[in-house]
Amino acid sequence: MSKLNNSDLPVIQYTIWAADLHGHRFHVKLHIENPLPNGQILQIPAWIPGSYLIRDFSKQIETIEAFALDNPNDALPLERIDNNHWRLPQVAGAVEILTTVYAFDSSVRAAYLDTERAFINSSSLCLAVK
């Protein structure tokens, strides 16, 4: 069994901001500094611990786009593998993935945004880098 070094893992950073208070939408930017050379898999959970139901957080993602930072004017093709997985193509440098997420679930399992308050459960907003 091979052991992963920290240098083998992609360096990632999330930025989340309230994009539309009345429309209950967050924007989430995922920056991947060094994506895997053969293409990177992205995932949003379908389930979280403590829940007895499939939550399917992907249904709240309204838009998803990816851009290589060396050519930010052209979107990269994202392949949707299944309901909650996407594949980035091979990219030589850093990429950013931008999502718009609908957030009007007042439970502790998801995200909520309006003019008075915001609640973030990152499992319902942030794509995992696999």
| CATH code of residue 67 | 2.60.40.3650
Residues 95/127, Cβ–Cβ less than 8 Å: no
Q: What is the pLDDT of residues 74-112, one digit of tens each?
A: 899 999 999 999 999 999 899 999 999 999 999 888 899
Number of structural domains found in the chain? 1
Q: What is the pLDDT of residues 53-73, one digit of tens each?
A: 777 899 999 999 999 999 888
Identify the domain containing residue 121 by its residue range: 6-129
Residues 103/60, Cβ–Cβ less than 8 Å: yes
In a domain, 1, yes or no: no
Q: For the chain, count helices (H), then strands (E).
A: 0, 11
pTM of the model: 0.89
CA distance linking residue 11 with residue 86, whole number of Å:
18
Question: What is the separation of C-alpha 20 from the centre of its chain, rounded to a whole number of angstroms?
Answer: 18
In a domain, 76, yes or no: yes
